[in-house]
Amino acid sequence: MKTKQFFIFSFVLLVFGSLHAQKTPIYLDNTQPIELRVKDALSKMTLEEKVKLCTAQSKFSSHGVPRLGIPEIWMSDGPHGVRMEILWDSWGHAGWTNDSCTAFPALTCLAASWNPEMSALYGNAIGEEARYRRKDVLLGPGVNIYRTPLNGRNFEYLGEDPFLASKMVVPYIQGVQQNGVAACVKHYALNNQEKWRGHINVELSDRALYEIYLPAFKAAVVEGKVWSIMGSYNQIRGEYACHNNLTLNKILKGEWKFDGCVITDWGGAHDTKQSAFNGLDIEMGTWTNGFTSNKAFAYDDYFLAKPYLKMLKSGEIPVSNVDDKASRILRMIFRTAMNVNKPYGSLANEEHHNVGRKVGEEGIVLLQNTANLLPIDASKYKTIAVIGENATRKLTEGGGSSELKVKREVSPLQGLTEKFGAAKIKYAMGYASGEVAYDRVLKPKYNTDSLKAAAVKLATESDIVIFVGGLNKNTQQDSEGDDRRSMTLPFGQNELIAEIQKVNKNVVLVMLSGNAYEMPWIKQTTTLVQAWYIGSEAGHAIANVLSGEVNPSGKLPFTFPVKLADNSAHAFGAISYPGDSINQYYKDDILVGYRWHDTKKIAPQFPFGYGLSYTTFGYGKATADKKKMSSDETIEISVPVKNTGTVKGKEIVQLYVKDLKSTEMRPEKELKHFAKVELNPGEERLITFKLDKTALQFYSDVKKDWITEAGKFTVMIGASSRDIKAKVDFELQ
């Protein structure tokens, strides 16, 4: 009996010891190189499991491999905050109580800061929130170029200039991804309007593609090492962008060596073969009602699901095709969901709110201050009127996929009341917005004549007026899904502003928008502030700038034209924007934004790079460390900048390059460097920039390559694209 018990005991020990001695599978071992783990996991997967990885399993998640312990991927909309939870199979809100977030400033505001350090803080903070919410992919940032002020999604992007967008997107990506969350740069590419976005075919030159519309995406991949990219809805030269051979295979995965995942915009796939062969990796949102609509439209019937598996089994598509897709998806899973070294993250804390406020303060742009009403000295005034719907309206709601459920949102009225005291502040709504239903703007639920009369009466009785207006996140304004109908301020604001200016000479206009707008009242305006959509801390950021606690230092990331016809996209008729509903031709080519205005000598209302301060800055003579440079050298350009005012402030020093003679058309000037510098009163600092031949090159449609031509160049140092303070010439040999 003892012998038998000993034998059983020994056998159990032997089996247990054998099992215990087995090594952890390589793909589960976080200490192993990712490429080894990818290869190992792929070797253990069935064909069906590989195919499963390529499609959604719910509104915002895609499949894992449960048999092997490989988790699914969870995604969330951004890029200004982590969106509330959405139901499994529909767009309805899930109704959770623990998914409130911090609303960070819209990316136009971040771009207006011209401060990559702010971009890094922003990216890390939103990355921490996404990580805490257990998201593996944050669907942002957006880097589509601001081509027309009518684009409904311009507020989500980083402005009109490819160099500025490139410099601002990289720190954002790195900040997000250091939290073990993949940034997903969007919308690749040429999604520069919302009207007909689902099918419009964009035709443009290679030069415009490479010089204007791709550089920020390239920077995201090559410098930012982004882990995922979202395709856009539109077509590019006859192929949908989510499965486009030119942009995905040849450029993204070929020229740029992108090793991450290409994810569709929701419903952006249209064909199984093209999805298979033209660079798509994960298909999301096709037939967006999921199982609730019809069994025939279940996730198994996505283009990259059953139809894809059938073609793989028949040999019509080689297995190597799905192996590449699965490898990319596994690589992203190991970087995110299976990364045991990622931090825990945090959600909607004071640190994150402070980041949002700082970005907002640095992005607010002072456009006009001729009467020196700003900064406001509250002791001078007994009554301060705050007028305008946007002073109290929630601007974190709406806008499409960027909608947010926030832990808190400080309105401009609240921020100004806290800053100047409730006894001084009197509020009038002034105007009311109408909702949009079936492409028709409905009448507001308020009597607009009464609102206007009450506002004008309050303005008459007050010592100073702060008007808070602009756009909002309704459809046909700053919102996904449709474009604006005009550049005019909506809801009778122009008439209201004119009436207020007639009865009170002390009027401060504070405009909240992600887009430019016409200013028929500008000649009667002494004080104008562009304050964007700032998010949770909007009221505090605005109040801090208006009071002078913070000296404004933002500058415009896009040009404000006087009228819509002055904009490049609208200068060539409807075929250039919005197209004929089938095709669209970018006839403005590389002359977008200030490149158009400066080259064609069309005066803007406010130029790219423009912004004032409560102090003044003086620029000295620009110098170069050499008069001639060879193509393998760099040249150093220096300029002294001095704070000539009485308060500390930040100046954004901008460097533009002009090619004096070229075999192909060049813009009047192009931004090639910038620096944001903080100076005390009387302090002077020498700002130095280094340029190499890449700052002088252009993409040749003739030679189908980047080229640098010998010749003379002028470096222009300025406070905006139109305010050039110093110049220096040199020659490239």
H helix intervals, 214-314: 215-222, 272-277, 306-314
Report yes or no: 205 and 254 within 8 Å, Cβ to Cβ. Answer: no
| For range 42-57, the mean pLDDT | 97
- Reply yes or no on whether the pLDDT at 618 is more than 70: yes
- For 297-320, what is each residue's pLDDT tens digit? 689 989 999 999 999 999 999 999
Please give the pLDDT value at position 295. Answer: 56
Residue corresponding to tokens 């909002």: 472
**156 in the same domain as 55:** yes
Residue 270 carries which side chain, given as an amino acid letter? H
**277 in the same domain as 227:** yes
| For range 598-606, the mean pLDDT | 98
Asked whether residue 345 is domain-assigned, the answer is no
Read off the CATH number of the domain in which 656 is found: 2.60.40.10
Residue 440 banded pLDDT, cuts 50, 70, 90: confident
Residue 436 banded pLDDT, cuts 50, 70, 90: confident
Please give the pLDDT value at position 296. Answer: 57
Residue corresponding to tokens 């996730």: 299
Please give the pLDDT value at position 293. Answer: 52
Q: What average pLDDT does the structure give for the chain? A: 94
- Number of domain units in the chain: 4
- Report the alpha-carbon distance of residue 694 to residue 706 in Å, rounded: 9
Asked whether residue 154 is domain-assigned, the answer is yes
**575 in the same domain as 457:** no
Residue 507 banded pLDDT, cuts 50, 70, 90: very high
Asked whether residue 725 is domain-assigned, the answer is yes
Report yes or no: 229 and 252 within 8 Å, Cβ to Cβ. Answer: yes
**546 in the same domain as 470:** yes
Please give the pLDDT value at position 289. Answer: 54
Asked whether residue 145 is domain-assigned, the answer is yes
Please give the pLDDT value at position 297. Answer: 65
Asked whether residue 516 is domain-assigned, the answer is yes
Residue 643 banded pLDDT, cuts 50, 70, 90: very high
Asked whether residue 590 is domain-assigned, the answer is yes
3-class DSSP assignment, residue 657: strand
- Report the alpha-carbon distance of residue 526 to residue 531 in Å, rounded: 16
**663 in the same domain as 569:** no
Containing H/E element for 203?
strand 201-203
3-class DSSP assignment, residue 111: helix
- For residue 234, the cross-strand partners are none
- For 222-232, what is each residue's pLDDT tens digit? 999 999 999 99
Please give the pLDDT value at position 22. Answer: 47
Q: What is the DSSP string of 345-405?
A: ---S-HHHHHHHHHHHHHH-EEEEETT---S--GGG-S-EEEE-GGGTS--SS-SSTT---
Sign of CA dihedral 548, 559, 674, 655: negative
| For range 358-378, the mean pLDDT | 98
- Reply yes or no on whether the pLDDT at 719 is more than 90: yes
Report yes or no: 570 and 559 within 8 Å, Cβ to Cβ. Answer: no
Asked whether residue 349 is domain-assigned, the answer is no
Please give the pLDDT value at position 438. Answer: 73
The boundaries of the domain holding residue 425 are 356-558
**292 in the same domain as 404:** no
**680 in the same domain as 646:** yes
**420 in the same domain as 322:** no
**604 in the same domain as 716:** no
- For residue 727, the cross-strand partners are 716
**115 in the same domain as 73:** yes
**157 in the same domain as 95:** yes
Please give the pLDDT value at position 447. Answer: 94
Between strands 635-643 and 623-624, the pairing is antiparallel
- The pair of structure tokens assigned to 579 is 């197209």
Residue 52 banded pLDDT, cuts 50, 70, 90: very high
> What positions carry a catalytic annotation?
265
Report yes or no: 532 and 109 within 8 Å, Cβ to Cβ. Answer: yes
- For 546-583, what is each residue's pLDDT tens digit? 999 999 999 999 999 999 999 999 999 999 999 999 99
Report yes or no: 119 and 319 within 8 Å, Cβ to Cβ. Answer: no
- For 86-116, what is each residue's pLDDT tens digit? 999 888 999 999 999 999 999 999 999 999 9
Half-sphere exposure of 522 (CA within 13 A, CB side): 16
- Reply yes or no on whether the pLDDT at 18 is more than 50: no
- Reply yes or no on whether the pLDDT at 508 is more than 70: yes
- Reply yes or no on whether the pLDDT at 439 is more than 80: no
Please tell me the pTM assigned to this model. 0.95
- Reply yes or no on whether the pLDDT at 218 is more than 50: yes
Q: Which of 295-309, 359-373, 628-642, 663-677 has the lowest mean pLDDT?
A: 295-309
Please give the pLDDT value at position 78. Answer: 86
- Cβ atoms within 10 A of the Cβ of 290, count? 20
What lies within 8 Å, CB to CB, of 295 at 6+ separation is: none
Read off the CATH number of the domain in which 512 is found: 3.40.50.1700
Asked whether residue 249 is domain-assigned, the answer is yes
**415 in the same domain as 287:** no
Please give the pLDDT value at position 12. Answer: 42
- For residue 185, the cross-strand partners are 229
